Amino acid sequence: MTSIGLIGLGNIGLPIAKVLIDAGHEVLGYRRSASTDFEEIGGRRVGSSREVAEGADVILCCISGDDALRDVIGGENGVASGDCTGKIVVELSTLSTEVKREQLLRLQAKGGMMLDSAISGLPPMVTARTAVYLLSGDEAAYEQARPVIEILTDRPCFMGVFGAALNTKLCANMLVAANIASTAETLAFGTKLGLDPDRLIAALRDGAGGSVQFSARAGRMAHGDWEKVLASTDILLKDILLIEKRGGDLNMQMPVLSSTRPFYEKAIAEGYGGKDVSAVYAVFAEAAGLPTPNKNGDTDK
């Protein structure tokens, strides 16, 4: 049994842990908040990211923001606060390349290495091992971490130099943002035309316009089922802003992506930031003069 480290036990980290545990590996996990759900599936919780690194040579990291990465890698009890000789951090979060590179240098100074990585897929896809894992950076480090990644997916994609995985994920999330907004607009349009939403979704799901996001979220939009969060509106807007910043740095216009941002911003302003991103449908429904599903917190399933 191999010990594998995992920092971050949220919507993506927890299903990663389950796949590893089910495959017979010990998972040492650290989460800055409570993590009884991790222990319930057989994980071994430790008290800091440094303790994770002390017990595992390959550490997967799934955290929410740049400051969190600085803390778990370069903080007082971070991975880089100890000897990192032979350690590889597979950093899977959608964060700025600058901050990832900054923490890579901290690890290298202690003998370790970081791969810039990302996951394209929803939590159920992670559990089913169908998510695509994107990795980039030092190729020798990738080969060392690859046996762990291949436990998690049959679809690892090595993208090249450090930063290429994040850039690929930004491209993926451009499609996600536009797709979810388009799904919401289409559902509102069809409902306004007098079509039964469930019949409409069944007709479109496997047709030319169907997609992973449509299948995952159209039904939830129709019934206001956005309390169980696959990915929050807050997180997707963070990614949209990161993509737009990159586009600005390249002097590139992004009219399709930029046209979706106000809808996500309005959804957040109306209190849907912490809800699943399917809640953006409420904004489109309101604009179309349609009733908003789950307006009073009651989900019609």
| pLDDT tens, the chain, 301 aa long | 589 999 999 989 999 999 999 999 999 999 877 768 999 999 999 999 999 999 999 999 999 889 999 999 999 999 999 999 999 999 999 988 999 999 999 999 999 999 999 999 999 999 999 999 999 999 999 999 999 999 999 989 999 999 999 999 999 999 999 999 999 999 999 999 999 999 999 999 999 999 999 999 999 999 999 999 999 999 999 999 999 999 999 999 999 999 999 999 999 999 999 999 999 999 999 999 999 987 655 444 4
Give every strand in the sheet of 113-120, ordered side by side: 44-45, 26-30, 3-7, 58-61, 88-91, 113-120, 132-136, 156-158
**156 shares a domain with 48:** yes
Q: Identify the CATH number of the domain in which residue 219 sits.
A: 1.10.1040.10
Tell me, what's the pLDDT at 289?
Answer: 96
* Sign, Cα dihedral of 231, 233, 235, 238: positive
- Number of domains observed in the structure of the chain: 2
Which three-class secondary structure string do you get for 205-249?
HCCCCCCHHHHHHHHHHHHCCCCCCCCEHHHHHHHHHHHHHHHHH
Q: Are residues 139 and 275 in the same domain?
A: no
Give CA–CA dist 255/253, Å, rounded.
6
Q: Which of 129, 162, 195 is the last residue of a domain?
A: 162
Q: Do 21 and 87 belong to one domain?
A: yes
Residues 6+ apart with CB under 8 A from 221: 183, 184, 187, 278, 281, 293
Domain match, 157 and 176 both: no
275 in Cβ contact with 226 (< 8 Å): yes
Same domain, 180 and 126: no
Alpha carbons 286 and 201: distance in angstroms, whole number: 20
DSSP secondary structure, 136-187, as one string: ES-HHHHHHHHHHHHHH-S-EEE-SSTTHHHHHHHHHHHHHHHHHHHHHHHH
Task: Confirm whether 293 is domain-assigned.
Answer: no
> What does the pLDDT read at residue 210?
93
Together in a domain, 148 and 176: no
Q: Is the dihedral of CA 208, 214, 215, 218 positive or negative?
A: negative
- Does a structural domain hold residue 297? no
Give pLDDT, residue 301. 40
Pair of tokens at residue 25 = 């590996």
| Structure confidence by residue, pLDDT tens digits, 109-118 | 999 999 999 9
Residues 138 and 249 in one domain: no
pLDDT tens readout for residues 143-160:
999 999 999 999 899 999
Burial of residue 163, with CB atoms counted within 10 A of its CB: 0-12 exposed, 13-18 middle, 19 or more buried: middle
Quick check: is 266 in a domain?
yes
Identify whether residues 8 and 157 lie together within a single domain. Answer: yes
- Classify residue 295: in a domain, yes or no: no
Positions marked catalytic:
169
Which among 237, 288, 244 has a CA at the least distance from the CA of 265?
237
My answer on whether 7 and 154 are in the same domain is yes
pLDDT of 296: 58
Cβ atoms 125, 131 nearer than 8 A: yes
Residue 221 belongs to domain spanning: 166-287
Same domain, 52 and 176: no
State the residue for tokens 């990291």: 61
Tell whether 301 is covered by a domain.
no
What was the pLDDT predicted at 1?
57
Give, as one character, the DSSP assignment of residue 276: B
In sequence order, what DSSP letters do the residues of 51-80 get, joined into one string?
HHHHH-SEEEE--SSHHHHHHHHHSTTSGG
Decide if 162 contacts 133 (C-beta within 8 A): no
> In this structure, are 196 and 147 located in the same domain?
no
Question: End of a domain among 111, 127, 162?
Answer: 162
Q: Is residue 158 part of a domain?
A: yes
Give yes or no: residues 250 and 143 share one domain: no
Give me the numbers of helices (H) and strands (E) for the chain, helices first please: 13, 8
Domain boundary residue among 145, 162, 179?
162
